[in-house]
Structure 1
């Protein structure tokens, strides 16, 4: 069996190098999203009581979820910075820096005093640290995606690109699992007093592991070739918006359709809705967290499958099937959750993850194949960040407000269905570019717009 293969640029890369890249992107993104989701989980479970209680119960919940969304507003800043420096100085250096930034902010949240201890300074500091998390998350994804896809053989970009995507369900699994474990170790008031802090402080260990792994990975072969030929764009973000503004918007809407639905669990909404003692269900915290952790496993499997199958039937077709299944999952979610049983809740979120995986697994390859090599980091990062704002940023807050205003979860269902349809329409506007050459020798071909209706070369 051969131990080498051609990279997208035509150079040789060993199987060992590729395996290290896949391992590093999975580990790194898992750590990043563990940090991000730990916050969302805590926001749904305890932050309304610890940091916003003086505002009153209903307003405190809305404020707690709003802090989840605030970080998304700063993702574009992280994407702009990471895209600029990633296109100029390389993918790897950005990956290492974002990992450290995210870990430091997460650990500091675990040390924060509460409102009862230092007053209004507590929520202010909490929001500042969440903003830092948002900046880091905005820069992380694009670098991880390009390291994976640009190292991949042309026929396996979907599979390789699924590796950073796996970090999201793995991060959710790890975050929910650790939170559930702490609910057992420190039940009741102990969880409010100190138990919730342990998962945040655990980030220090995970960051050290992620840092060690990422430092061992070679730079992306596409960027290495760009640097060698001295064809780097001086102002990649300016070039991106001068030529590809509409493409960025359409790509962002693809992700928004997935992200709004995904943040029902990753944003902490289902956890809060199902455990609220004054709500219609009132389940125990621990079993709900374990159910969400279980759904992360089904999400992991469907995401991996989607990356693999997209190499065979194309990114666009995979997405279209995924949107249909996601829509079905949206309409099944609340009828199952509202049965008031842990089994019903697990079934609802697990069914939902099938469509979520199919509309998330191919995203790394899809985005990488949309943009020219010299501005690719900026293109994928900024599209992702804008999509996150339009989709998941305030999805838990919107869902909470809709239920408070209408008294029924059907209003949330129709909101999520609408976002799914938006994602489907955006996908239909894109041509499938599976297998397009990614190296700098093919910039002219990459510059041709993949949007239907645009001029073709």
Structure 2
């Protein structure tokens, strides 16, 4: 039984609610990433040509990452004042509506420049919603979990991202396999977007059945809700926010490299068949999930910090080896490159669902955790795919590997600067424990 009195059965229900919502939200998020790699350059940016159209298409991914910290502040404010549950219902609805509307947006051939503008606006809404999603889903589990297994229970929100990506890739693979290339580019790619709203209804049903976390209710009962939680977090724990914002830079860089940039790289540069690239993407996404579970479970035994440090250290070496391996230009080497990249990211990501909340006080935990998480999303998730083409064109692919290695060094340094708090009670301020 958890310290808060939550039974094992209740934890399973909470984990399902946490993971189900993030599966749906990340499915929505990733079908956009997949479409950006395969379809959007032709559908929304045809006037720019193939190369510039691809850059513009990936830039639409980047605007969501810029919006995510804003979303973390917005939804973090409500999450710390009104509760985790209410906020999560809002993020799910906003994400579902935005994704459905992307699928209904006419192409540039139909409405001209208005098409990419609408897509970018809807992508911003996706980013705002996702900025509050992961944090709330993670806190739903972390604030109810027993200390001894907090790493395990807290990883279900992160695991939802892996499952969502696998579903998104499988949907595009099935859609593309059952229709011609022309039909897929014309309307087939829209089907996963429009169909996602059905999944949102399922997610809402699950989340509405879950109670508010005991930690939040206890904090409000004792001290009341924070009036300006984000400002309070900046005032009281600026150091933790600053370093926590760098912990996930490598994870975001590696994962979005694999699920976004490498899909385009495999088809456009290595000239691999699209179904082959998507199947490898599904395998890489599944291994990402396996690595998340492994990292989370190990973190309950040896500490979150050690696991994250190990993942970032290995990433530095792998970043330099990745593109020489990919440039062998075979399906096998592409599979190795994609799968190892996501496995390293997943292993370091597994403990984060517990590590980040353990750093911050309950009254502003949603705001501080969400902001730190999503700043890392900009640095690691938005920047590398956008600059990849420019760096490789000017200095070669190895130079981009060096860039990824530098991001991994930053993540390693930030993790080393933070404490290990796995024995802390989340109903109290983060314990002043020494690093382990």
Q: Give the equivalent residue in structure 2 for 1:274.
A: 266
1:307 to 296, 309, 312: 296
Distance 1:338 1:183 in 2: 26
**What is the CA–CA distance in structure 1 between the aligned matches of 2:125 and 2:91, rounded to whole Å?**
10
Question: Alpha-carbon deviation of 1:378?
Answer: 0.8
1:130-209 aligned at under 5 Å gives the runs 130-209=123-202
Contact kept? 1:17, 1:218, Cα under 8 Å: no
1:270 deviates by 0.4
Q: Could you tell me how far 1:448 is from its partner in structure 2?
A: 4.7
Unaligned regions of 5+ residues in structure 2, if any?
none
TM-score by length of 1: 0.92
Cα offset, 1:365, TM superposition: 0.5
1:329 aligns with 2:321: no
What is the match of residue 424 of structure 2?
436
Matching of residue 361 in structure 1 with residue 353 in structure 2: no
Contact preservation (8 Å) 1:263, 1:269: yes
Give the direction of change, closer, same or farther, for the CA distance of 1:48–1:390 in structure 2 (3 Å limit): same
SS at match of 2:248: helix
Cα distance in 2, alignment partners of residues 336 and 205 from structure 1: 40
The CA RMSD measured in Å over matched residues stands at 1.6
Deviant stretches of 4+, over 4 Å:
447-452
- Secondary structure of the 2:375 match is helix
Greater fraction of residues in helix: 2
**Who is 1:216 aligned against?**
209
The one of 283, 295, 299 equivalent to 2:272 is: 283
SS of residue paired to 1:173: helix
The correspondence of residues 94-113 of structure 1 with structure 2, limited to 5 A, is 94-113=87-106
Deviations 1:299-329 (A, max 9, x none): 1101001001100000111111111232343
Map 1:111-126 → 2, pairs under 5 A: 111-126=104-119
Q: What is the deviation of 1:353?
A: 2.0
CA change 1:297–1:144 in 2 (3 A) is same
| Partners of 1:52 and 1:60 within 8 A in 2 | yes
Question: 1:339 aligned to 2:328?
Answer: yes
d(CA) in 2 for partners of 1:36, 1:447 = 35
Aligned mate of 1:402, from 377, 381, 391: 391
The one of 47, 54, 58 equivalent to 2:47 is 54
Is residue 6 of structure 2 the alignment partner of residue 13 of structure 1? yes
Q: Secondary structure at the match of 1:233?
A: coil
Query: SS at the partner of 2:197?
Result: helix
SS for the counterpart of 2:6 is: strand
- Count of equivalent residues: 436
How far off is 1:139 after superposition?
A: 0.7
State how far apart, in whole Å, the 1-side matches of 2:179 and 2:187 are: 8
8 A Cα contact 2:105 2:119, kept in partner: yes
| Among candidates 242, 250, 258, match of residue 249 of structure 1 | 242
Residues 240-263 of structure 1: per-residue CA shift (max 9 Å, x gap): 111222221110111112211211
Does the residue aligned with 2:381 lie in a helix, a strand or coil? coil
Alpha-carbon distance in 1 for matches of 2:292, 2:92:
23
Aligned equivalents of 1:74, 1:63: Cα separation in 2 = 17
Give per-residue Cα distances to partners, 1:142-163, cap 9 Å, x unaligned. 1011001011011111001111
Q: 1:61 to 1:246 in 2, by over 3 A?
A: same
Instruction: State the match for 1:415 in structure 2.
Output: 403
Shift in Å, 1:230? 4.1
Contact 2:288/2:343 (<8 A) preserved: yes
Could you tell me which residue of structure 2 aligns to residue 36 of structure 1?
Answer: 29
Q: Is the 8 A contact 1:329 1:348 kept in 2?
A: no
Higher mean displacement: 376-385 or 408-417 = 408-417
CA distance in 1, matches of 2:377, 2:137: 17
Which range moved further: 430-439 or 325-334? 325-334
Deviation at 1:288, TM superposition (A): 0.3
Q: Secondary structure at the match of 1:308?
A: helix
Contact 1:372–1:447 at 8 Å: present in 2 too?
Answer: no
Task: Describe the superposition over 1:115-152 as per-residue Cα deviations: whole angstroms up to 9, x where unpaired.
Answer: 00000000000000000000001011110110010110
Is contact 2:324-2:398 (8 Å) kept? Answer: no
Matched residue SS, 2:105: coil
Q: CA deviation at 1:237?
A: 1.1
Given the alignment of the two structures, is residue 129 of structure 1 paired with residue 144 of structure 2, yes or no?
Answer: no
State the TM-score, normalizing by the size of structure 2. Answer: 0.97
- Using the alignment, how far apart are the partners of 1:450 and 1:363 within structure 2? 18
For residues 218 and 332 of structure 1, the distance between their equivalents in structure 2, rounded to whole angstroms, comes to: 47
Asked whether the equivalents of residues 430 and 450 of structure 1 are also in contact (C-alpha less than 8 Å), the reply is: no
Gaps of 5+ in 1: 453-457
